[in-house]
Each structure stands twice: as C-alpha cells, then as structure tokens.
Amino acid sequence: MALTINHLLGLEGVPKEDITLILDTADTFYEVLQREIPQVPTLRGKTVVNLFFENSTRTRMSFELAEKRLSANPLNFSTSTSSVTKGESLRDTMRNIEAMKIDMVVVRHSAAGAPSFLTKCTDAAIINAGDGLHEHPTQALLDMMTIRQKFGKLAGLKVAIIGDILHSRVARSNAWGMKTMGMDVTLCGPPTLLPQHPQVLGVRVTDNMDEALFGANVVMLLRLQLERQGSGLFPSIREYRERYGLDLDKLSKLPDDIIVMHPGPINRGIELASNVADCSKSVILDQVTNGVAVRMAVLYLLGGGENA
Amino acid sequence: MKQIELLMDATALDRALTRIAHQILEKNSDLKNLGIVGMQTRGVFLAKRIAEKINGLEKTEMSSGVLDITMYRDDYRMALKQPKVQVTHIPFDINGIEMILVDDVLYTGRTVRAALEALNDFGRPKTIQLAVLIDRGHREMPIHADYVGMTITTRANQEVALKVKEKDNEDSVWLMELEKGD
Amino acid sequence: MRKKGNGQIIYMPGTESHPASILIKNGRVIDPANGIDERLNVGVKNGMISFVAAEVPQYFQPQEEIDAEGMWVAPGLVDMHVHLREPGREDKETIETGTMAAAAGGFTAVACMPNTNPVLDEESKIRYVVQRGTNCPCRIYPVGSITKGLLGEELSPFGEMVRAGARAVSDDGKSVRKSSVMKNALNYSKSFKIPVICHCEDADLALGGHMNEGLMSTRLGMRGIPSAAEEIVVARDIMLAAYTGARVHIAHVSTAGSLRSIREAKKMGVNVTCETCPHYFTLCDQDVEGYNTNRKMNPPLRTAADRDEIITALADGTIDVIASDHAPHVSEEKDVEFDAAAFGVIGLETSLSVVLSYLVDKDILMPVDLVEKMSLAPNRILGLDGGTLTVGKPADITVIDPKTKWKVDSSLFYSKARNTAFEGMELKGFARFTILGGAIVYMRK
C-alpha cells in the first residue's frame, strides 16, 4: 500500500485512497503517541527541513515534534534570521539547503504555488505547510481524522465552515478533501469574506449562518483576522460576532452530538465564545494531538525508502 | 507460487497449538504474570487461540495484545514506498511480565529482532519467550524460538504459507515454491 | 551579419553593404491603402519603391531577386507597443537587440514606451532613444510620457518631445490616477495632434493581484485583478476623450466589458482607437495552470469568454491594431514563485505568426485585415508615412510566408529575453524577409 502522490502540495485532486491511507496510518501513529516511549525509529537518519517563510509557532512545532517522534533530524529555517532578508531567491535558498543533503522539506510560504515551485528546484519530497491563500493540506487531514475519530466515518456527514473563507487556505483544503471523502460541506461568512467565484470549489456557499448550521454534524470556526477590519472587509467585531460567532445560545439549538472545531489560534469571544471553546463538544485540543499523528503519517508515507 | 507439500492440516495445527499452550504453562507457573502478544498479521490469530486454550485450561483470563513491527523494520530504507502500518494494541503494562511473543513462521529472525526493539519502547518485561508455529531455518540473526510447532528444512526459493479460518476460510500450513516467472 | 542556428540572418544597416536594387517577384501584393490584393512584382531601388506591376519594366536591372512565390508582399509591419528597456535595464533588452527582434518578427518600425529609467519625459531622453536607433534594423518612434517621471502629477513637455521625434504620449505601465490631470493631458495633446495611449488600470482595485480574478485564481489561491479594474478606466478615458475632443488609443484591451464601451464610443463618434495583443486572443486564465510565470502579464489573461469577445471584435473591426506589448525580463525575475515574478511577456518574434496561425488561418481575419491591423492602422494612428507600397515611398516591406510550420524555441530568439507565452507551441507562418528602406535587414531560410 503506497501513496500515489510523491509530494503533498494540497488536497485538490488527491484520490480518496490516498487520503484514507494517510488517515489510517495516522490512527496507528496516534497509538504510538500514547505509549510510554512515544517514538519509533522509522525515519532515523533522515533530515527534514522546516522551511518557514511565514511566522508560525504551532504548525512548525507540530511538524518538528512529528519529525522527532519518527527519529528523524529536523532542521529549522525561519525567515527573520535568514538569508532571505538579504534578498536571496527562493530557488537559491532551497539549493543551499539541499547542498547539506536533506531528504524532505516542509514549507510554509506567503506565495501560492511556492511548494509547487520547489518541486522543480529539488529532488526532496515537499510537504506544503501552507502556501498563501492556496492550501494547508495537513490541517485538513487532521480535521478529517478528528471527525472520523468522533463519528467513526466521514462520508455523508455535514460540515459547516464559518468565518473568513476568502483568506482561509484551511477552508479550501477542507473543501477539496472533504468533498473527495463524500462529505457535505458548506462554507459560510459575510459576503466580503467569501471568494468572488466560489463555484470552483464545488461546495455550497452562503452568508447565512443558520442555513449553514442546519443539519450540521460538525461546525468549524475560522479565526477572524482583526487587522482586516481596517480594510473595510467587515464593519465591526460586534456585528461579526452577532452574525457569525458561535455562542452557547446558538449551540444549544443544534443537535447534541455536534462537534465544534477550530484550527487555532482562537479569538475567544469573537468567532467562538469562551464557554463554547471549553465545552464538551469542542474537540479543539484533539485536533492539536491529531495534528502530530497526521504529520507523522505524511512524513512516514512520503519519506521512507530510496525514491527510485 | 505452487503448493509443494501440506505441512499441517487443521487437526495437526490445532494439536500443535495445544501442545505449545501446555508447554508455556509448564515453564511459567505464575499465570498472573503472563502476557501474550501476537505479531501482525497471522501471529495475532495464533496468539488468540493459544490464549483461549490457556484460559480454558486454567480458568483464567490472560493479558493479551497485538503488535505491528512495520515501523521497526531494518529494511525500511530499501522499500520504495512505506508499507501500510497495522494496529498495535498492548493494553497492559509489560514491565516485569513474562511475555510470550507469537508469530507464525520463524525464518531469518529479523522480524523478531524488530519486535524486541518495539517491545523495548513499551517497557521492560521480565522475560520474552518466542512461540512460533513453523521454524524453517536460515537464521540471519542469533534468534531462537522457545516453543515450536514444527521444524522443517526449506530452500530459499520456498515459502511457508499459513492459512487461518478467520481470514482465509481454512486452517492449513502449506510449503510453497516460487515458479519461473513469479 | 548576425546568424541564428535555424537559418535566420540579420543584416545590420550601415555596417553591411546592401544591394541598391531588389526585385520581389511572383508574390501576392497586399496593399489596402492602394486597393491592391493580387499577384504582382515589386521593384525596390535606392531605398524607395520603384514600381508595383504585373510586368517588370525593361530598364529595371535588379542586383538581387527574391522569389516570393506562395508568399505575401506587404507594407512593413509596425508594432506600436514595445518595451525596449533602454535606458536603464539594458540587462533585459537594448535598443539594438530589441530592434533585431523586431526585424526578425517582420517589423520595420516600432513605437517604444517611456517607462524606462530615466523615464522618457523630456526632449533629451527622446533624442537619446532616437540616436541609439540609428543603424538599427528597425525604425524607432519613441512614445513620450504623459506625466513627468510617470508620477501622474505634472504634464511632460509634449511639444519638445514631439519635436525630438515622439509620436504619441502614454504613461503605460500605469494609468494617470487623477482624472483632472488626464483631462489636462488630453486637452494639451490636441495642440500637437498626437494620440494619448491609455494603459487602463484602476490601481486600487488591482492592488495585490497577480492574475485575472476568476475561477482559476480561486482554484490556485491567488489574489486576482478583476476585469472591472480595466473597464472602469477605459470608460473614464473614453468619456474624457469625448468631453475634450482629444484622440485616445486604448492599449492592450483584454476584457469583453472594455470592448463594449469602445464599440459604443465609436458608434457615437468619439475619437477612440484600440489595440489588443496576441496572447489575449489565444490564451486565457486557465493557461496559468501550474503557476506558469510566462503566462503572467498585465493586464492578465482573462476568461475564455473574454478571449472569444476579443476575437469577435477583431473580426468586426472594433479592434484597430494588433500590437505585442513586448516586455522583456531577465530569468531571475521570471524563474521564481508566481507572486514574486515580474509581469510581462515578449512578443516581437511571435506576433505575426500567432496572428497568421490563430486568425488568418482560421478565416477570422483576411490577409488584407492583417495588413490593416499590423501596418496601415498603426501608421495612421501615429501619424507616420508608411503602411503602403506606393511608388516613391521608402521601401519598408515585409515578405510573409503564411504556410510553413515551425515550433517556438526561445533560445533562438534575437531578443535578450526568453519569457514568451508561446514556448514550444507549433505556429504556422512567419516573416521571410524584412526590408527596411530598401535594404534587406532580415531573412529566414
């Protein structure tokens, strides 16, 4: 059993079998993480570069932990302290790192398509940790793993993703991946925070939160970037919270077995009320745990062995 | 692959497992301290049957688990793609336990070496004893089995294939040989 | 003489010796200005057109003969929208290499844009370009800037720029943001009878965008430039032209909405002309697939529906001119991730072939329309004397092979740059001979 893809650049076009294999493998790594010694020697001697051109503590930490649990050697590169500030091109940065003999690259970049560009610069396997507004596949995979853990299945479940869809690569990857797995996805947000041409994602889009939540098994909230208020994308936090935030009152009207998700970090009291973030239906912390397992699975499936 | 010889039929297989169960009991008096772990895939079924026999004989419920050693293999660098990992579930504390490790066929010994490394990450058993249904020789590691169902000599182009009712609808052990073009 | 591996040769004027008389025989002469479209012989002597007739006159002793059997003989083509990058970015292209590329593309004249460094916003800068163009294998007509430094505030001195050789003004690369400044520019241009060439782009709407805003940009996760960004300024510039009575020429039209405004304006008698580029009637935003930076330009490739509208507008005459918007870039600025890549593609050496392959070969345009849009109309708009094969005029002639297939290989281009949107594509037809002032400056075996 092997993946058909050689890199993880996104979930668009990734076949169902590949996603299933990653999730199944992630389940076994979840078990490893429960052990007294939560480490396996599989990627011993392999070097993985965490190439983060955008600031991110949590995703990078999650990847680094996954790499260490697989006994690989992580190498961290972040722009603030690097040659990029001296004007080095992406291609040159990659070449210089590769000259130190590395096996895999985990990359986060503000330009959509940067991971795709890197596949032309290096033989190493590339894992996209977020590229511009394009995709964030490992986040969507851990979201699906969490949903599958709670419901025992994916197909047929109804998911509502609510928030700043326009600027969310998480929403995009989830839309692609969940659609492949036969789930029913609705994207919801104020019209100014929805893409102008959403049809290409192939899922339902609405600006009405009640419509999005109707019959939903899973509600996923996205972080509102408060800086965007200044650029005219939404009028006030109060209005946003009222129309698109989730509080206990709205939650109580939904079925009992609904779960609440959020990719983090949370703006408590804005998209998610504090008491909802901490309630029993919230699986936000499970998402974080599963994140390490999913990333271990991706590293394992893409990283082992000599590539022919 | 073609079948060469039926090494065990259902009856012979069952008798071998019964004998092994008795042998284990003979060597390990303290049942409360005994644990059995079957190795994926077919070792799991054999371990279950041995545990059932022991439970039946001693009116007890022994600790059991299953182990997948894919992540501990020493040939992962050579595989083009990583093989699918199966379930590992050892729901009891293995520290200080007399551990019975069960596999279907003992060949080079590398699988068992990997299992020893894996168990090491779970804790420190008092002893690890190995039970196998078939020992076919050709060891590449200094590994030996404590309980053996049957010892046979084989050639490198042969394989020992275990079929179990739970998975393959029959109980049998066949000696197989590679044909030209396999 | 500058040779290329695929049988292309450029003969530089002034440094090489050129035959004093040439006979171009058996070609299909297409000269819409003189109402000619038939098989005729053309004679060139002492830099001028000596005769155009079925019979070669007795007295005519040609030093060189060109057998134009199966080919078209047209007045020299003019590309009225190119970027030669000199002064300032000679690493991307120079006036010399750019004019060689033009000659290789069949052009006898180009109009070059002022967004150089320094900007062509006064007499000395225009003179510099004109002077650098002597002994180049293509005529150069500089376009001066509308505003000083392209800053959109103060008008450039149109009078002295025209005196030095400028034939139009433009702030190409951007729009003049303040409508009051644009109105003043249009009014001022009337004194010099020059067209104001408009690059129409609402900078605020387009901000941060890298490709057309549409289904494709959503799929690729890229910020987009909505078509409205072009259409808003097209409408504004047309209205100001109507209001002031000045002459505007809309550069690189890419959207259906722009065409609607232009069509209506023409019906109302507004003095507006427009141009489009080969990539807008052949490619669309789907062709950015794989984050291909050689499909990144401004205005961006639009939807397939826009492309179809452009084709319709070419056929019905709404679009007057086809120009390349030749925009050379060094590989360091193109071989990078999409967001970081510079906007622009080259086009001098593929323009004619793309028009032949995608428009004439498909009967969307007749050969005479090709000459109209790539020679006669640019001449007329810029107030030049060419675009015809009239006896006594300077012999600027393009001999076109409309049939032979070839594959685009940018490594064989005369341009310094390699950023073509048509890399590897099969095209049909090209310029076999480019004759400038009676001298053969380019030929392709």
Domain of C305, CATH number, reads 3.20.20.140
Q: Given a cut of 80, is residue C22 above it in pLDDT?
A: yes
**pLDDT over 50 at A6, yes or no:** yes
Q: How would residue C50 be classed by pLDDT, with cut points 50, 70 and 90?
A: very high
* Domain contains A8: no
Domain range for A218:
137-283
Q: What is the CATH number of the domain that holds C416?
A: 2.30.40.10
Q: Which residues contact B29 (CB under 8 A, 6 or more apart)?
A: none
**Unique residue bearing structure tokens 């409205």:** C228
Distance CA C375, CA A98 (A): 52
Q: Where is the domain boundary, C382, C402, C421?
A: C382
Q: How far, in whole angstroms, is CA C29 from its chain's centroid?
A: 22
Question: Does pLDDT of A305 surpass 80?
Answer: no
Angle of the A16-34 helix axis to the A58-69 helix axis, nearest 10:
80
Q: 3-state class of C58 per DSSP?
A: coil
Mean pLDDT, range A151-159, rounded to an integer: 97
How far is the C-alpha of C376 from the C-alpha of C321, rounded, in Å? Answer: 9
pLDDT in tens, B83-119: 778 889 999 999 999 999 999 999 999 999 999 999 9
Do both C422 and C404 map to the same domain? Answer: yes
Q: What one-character DSSP code corresponds to residue C204?
A: H
The one-character DSSP state at B33 is G
Task: Give B59 or C30, the one with higher predicted confidence.
Answer: C30
C429 and C345 in a common domain: no
- The answer to whether A24 contacts B78, with C-beta atoms less than 8 Å apart, is no
**From CA A18, how far away is CA A11, in angstroms rounded?**
10
Task: Using CB atoms, pick whichever of B76, B78, B88 lies closest to residue A42.
Answer: B76
Lowest mean pLDDT among A224-228, C22-26, C201-205: A224-228
The answer to whether the Cβ–Cβ distance between A37 and B121 falls below 8 Å is yes
CA–CA distances in Å: residue C113 to residues C110, C157, C271: 10, 16, 22
Q: Are B40 and B67 in contact (CB under 8 A)?
A: yes
Q: What is the pLDDT of residue A145?
A: 98
Q: Determine whether C280 is exposed, middle or buried from the number of CB atoms within 10 Å of its CB (0-12, 13-18, 19+).
A: buried
- DSSP, collapsed to helix, strand or coil, labels residue B92 as coil
Quick one: which of C311, C309, C314, C344 has its CA closest to C326?
A: C344
Residue among A116, A117, A200 whose CB faces C219 most closely? A200
Look-up: residue for tokens 């192939």? Answer: A202
Which residue among C221, C332, C340 sits closest to A133, beta carbon to beta carbon?
C221
Q: Tell me what the mean pLDDT of segment B23-27 comes to.
A: 95
Q: Are C49 and C89 found together in one domain? A: no
User: C-alpha C18: how far from its chain's center?
Assistant: 27
Helix C228-244 with C179-189: angle, nearest 10 deg? 50
Per-residue pLDDT at C52 exceeds 60: yes
A131 in Cβ contact with C221 (< 8 Å)? yes
pLDDT at position A1 over 70: no
Shared domain check, A160 and A53: no
Give pLDDT, residue A303.
86
- The answer to whether residues A65 and A292 touch, using CB atoms and an 8 Å cutoff, is yes
Residues on chain B touching A39 (C-beta within 8 angstroms): 121
pLDDT at A84: 61
Is pLDDT of C217 > 50?
Answer: yes
Q: Which residue in A1, A8, A18, A40 has the most chain B C-beta atoms within 10 A of its own C-beta, making it the best mutation to test that interface? A: A40
- C442: which strand partners? C10, C434
Nearest alpha carbon to residue A102 among A180, A43, A146, A59? A43
Note whether A194 and A267 are same-domain residues. Answer: yes
CA distance C35 to C390: 11
Residue A223 belongs to domain with CATH number: 3.40.50.1370
- Cβ distance A189 to A215 under 8 Å? no
Asked whether residue C349 falls in the same domain as residue C378, the answer is yes
Looking only at the bridges linking them, the beta strands covering C21-31 and C64-67 are parallel
Question: What is the structure's pLDDT at C6?
Answer: 85
Q: Are residues A113 and A159 in the same domain?
A: no
CA atoms lying within 13 Å on the CB side of residue B35: 24
Which subunits count as partners of chain C given 3+ CB pairs below 8 Å? Answer: A
Residue B71: what pLDDT?
A: 85
A21, A40, A304: residue with CB nearest B72? A40
Q: Give, in order, the Cα–Cα distances in Å from A64 to each of A74, C132, C249.
A: 6, 58, 58
Residue C389 has pLDDT above 60, yes or no: yes
Q: Are residues A202 and A122 in the same domain?
A: no
> Cα(A273)–Cα(A271) distance, rounded to whole angstroms?
7
Q: Tell me if A11 is assigned to some domain.
A: no
Same domain? A122 vs A186: no
Q: Are B172 and B9 in contact (CB under 8 A)?
A: yes
Cα-based torsion angle of the residue sequence C178, C207, C281, C275 in order, rounded to the nearest 10 degrees? 20
Q: Is A133 on the interface with B (CB under 8 A)?
A: no
**Whether residue C67 lies in the annotated active site:** no
Q: Are residues A263 and A168 in the same domain?
A: yes
Identify the CA nearest to A268 among candidates A289, A244, A291, A247: A247
- Residue among C306, C325, C369, C396 flagged as catalytic: C325
Q: List, in order of start, the domains of chain B with CATH numbers.
A: 2-73+85-177 (3.40.50.2020)
Q: What percent of chain A has pLDDT over 90?
A: 74
Q: Higher pLDDT residue, C59 or C17?
A: C59
Residue B45, amino acid: F
Which residues of chain B have a CB within 8 Å of the CB of A35?
Answer: 121-122
Residue A306 has pLDDT above 60, yes or no: no
Arithmetic mean of pLDDT over chain B: 91
Distance from CA of B8 to the nearest CA of A (A): 31
| pLDDT at B147 > cutoff 90 | yes
Mean pLDDT score of chain A: 91
pLDDT band at A133, cuts 50/70/90? very high
Both structure tokens of A78: 């972040």
Query: Which other chains touch chain A, taking contact as 3+ CB pairs less than 8 Å apart?
Result: B, C
Nearest to C323 by CA among C16, C77, C96: C77
Cα separation, C105 vs C70, whole angstroms: 19
Count of domains in chain A?
2
* Inter-CA distances, A178 with A113, A171, A193, C306, C391, Å: 21, 10, 21, 33, 72
Q: Tell me: do A167 and A199 sit in the same domain.
A: yes
Same domain, yes or no: A166 and A117: no
In percent, the amount of chain C with pLDDT more than 90 equals 96
* A7 is a domain residue: no
Q: Are residues C105 and C33 in the same domain?
A: no
Query: Are residues C178 and C68 both part of a single domain?
Result: no
Q: Are residues A126 and A264 in the same domain?
A: no
Sequence-ordered list of residues with C-beta below 8 angstroms from that of B151, at least 6 positions apart, any chain: B134, B135, B137
Tell me, what's the pLDDT at A308?
Answer: 32
> What does the alpha-carbon distance between residue C442 and residue B3 come to, in Å, rounded to a whole number?
78
Q: Which residues are CB-contacts of A157 (< 8 A; sequence separation ≥ 6)?
A: A147, A151, A183, A184, A217, A218
- For the segment A252-276, the average pLDDT, to the nearest whole number, is 92
CB count in 10 Å sphere of residue C153? 12
Taking CA atoms, A278 is separated from A144, A213, A234, A274, in Å, by 20, 20, 27, 6
Q: What is the dihedral of CA C196, C435, C279, C230, to 10 degrees?
A: 0
Q: Of the candidates C382, C412, C431, which is a domain's last residue?
A: C382
Residue-wise pLDDT tens digits, A156-211: 999 999 999 999 999 999 999 999 999 999 999 999 999 989 888 889 999 999 99
Residue A226 binned pLDDT confidence (cut-offs 50, 70, 90): confident
- Please state the domain count of chain C: 2
Q: Are residues A110 and A176 in the same domain?
A: no
A220 and A117 in one domain? no
Adjacent-strand bridge partners of A268 = A272
Task: Report d(CA C114, CA A22) in Å as an integer.
Answer: 55
Of the residues C382, C405, C420, the one at which a domain ends: C382
Same domain flag for C419 and C343 = no
Alpha-carbon distance of B16 to A109, in angstroms, equals: 61
Report yes or no on A211 lying in a domain: yes
Q: Are residues A160 and A125 in the same domain?
A: no
Dihedral Cα C118, C120, C125, C129, nearest 10 deg: 100
Q: For strands C248-250 and C196-198, give the pairing.
A: parallel
Instruction: Judge whether residue A304 has pLDDT over 70.
Output: no
Is there a single domain that holds both residue C163 and residue C212?
yes
Residue of A nearest to C332 (CA): A89
Q: Is C426 helix (H, G, I), strand (E, B) or coil?
A: strand
Q: What is the percentage of chain C residues whose pLDDT exceeds 70?
A: 100
Q: What is the mean pLDDT of chain C?
A: 96
ipTM for the predicted complex: 0.84
Residue B1 pLDDT greater than 90, yes or no: no
If asked whether residues C96 and C237 sit together in one domain, one would say: yes
Question: Do C165 and C237 fall into the same domain?
Answer: yes
Same domain as C240, residue C152: yes
Is residue C209 domain-shared with residue C235, that is, in the same domain? Answer: yes
Q: Which residues from chain A sit within 8 angstroms of residue B78, using beta carbons?
A: 305-306
What is the reported pLDDT for A80? 60
Closest-CA residue of A relative to B68 is: A28
Q: What is the pLDDT of residue A307?
A: 42
Q: Which residues contact B100 (CB under 8 A, 6 or more apart)?
A: B24, B34, B35, B36, B37, B47, B50, B129, B130, B131, B147
Residue C150 belongs to what domain range? Answer: 76-382
| β-sheet bridge partners, residue B162 | B173
Question: CA–CA separation, A64 vs A74, rounded Å?
Answer: 6
**Distant-in-sequence, close-in-space partners of C426: CB < 8 Å, separation ≥ 6:** C405, C406, C407, C408
Digit-coded pLDDT (tens) for A77-95:
877 656 666 678 888 888 8
What interhelical angle do A16-34 and A169-180 show, nearest 10?
110
For C349-375, write each residue's pLDDT tens digit: 999 999 999 999 999 999 999 999 999
A17: chain B residues, CB-CB within 8 Å: none
